[in-house]
Structure 1
């Protein structure tokens, strides 16, 4: 199962997210749940870097089964708004996957 943890700051903004585990929906190379989660999460990270112009702290490992992204705290309010829009779009997409494939992905929000 893929476990997604979304962490929030005191202003209720997403401050980081962590993905760990494997969906095990299908064999490697055919796992649509894993592919969907990967596309959504890496797309969000790439969008944050390109569109908001910031470099989040990124950790990866565990044979592709781990991704952690931490948003810097020293960014302008305008940039923070862009980042939050992108992260909330990612969360909505992950929730859509969870609704269809809840046996293979679980989202936990630490508000």
Structure 2
């Protein structure tokens, strides 16, 4: 099972962590894992490329773990853009969870 934990402070996403494996299909053909990976790495790459923010990223080489922390952002417009991209990621993840709840769970703290 994939677990997505999202931490918030005053409604703003401050970090998120993905752990586990969906195991919804054979290795290389696991559509849930592929979808979660595409959404999460797409959001991380978008924040870095479009907002110019250096995120604090921790991951395991063999997959199955990603932790991303958002640094303090002093420029409000940039902070709002980062939050919009991360909220978009969360909406996509919730869509995956709705259709494949036996393989992914989301917890917000």
Unaligned runs of 5+ in 2: none
Q: 1:83-98 counterparts in 2 under 5 A?
A: 83-98=82-97
> How far did residue 73 of structure 1 move?
1.0
* Aligned counterpart, 2:39: 40
* Aligned counterpart, 1:28: 27
* Aligned counterpart, 2:4: 4
**Shift >6 Å, 4+ stretches:** none
Aligned residue-pair number: 109
Q: TM-score w.r.t. structure 2 length? A: 0.97
Query: Using the alignment, how far apart are the partners of 2:23 and 2:36 within structure 1?
Result: 12
* Aligned counterpart, 1:52: 51
Unaligned runs of 5+ in 1: none
Deviation by residue 1:57-108 (Cα, 9 ceiling, x = unmatched): 0000162000000000143111110000000000000000000000000000
Q: Secondary structure at the match of 2:74?
A: coil
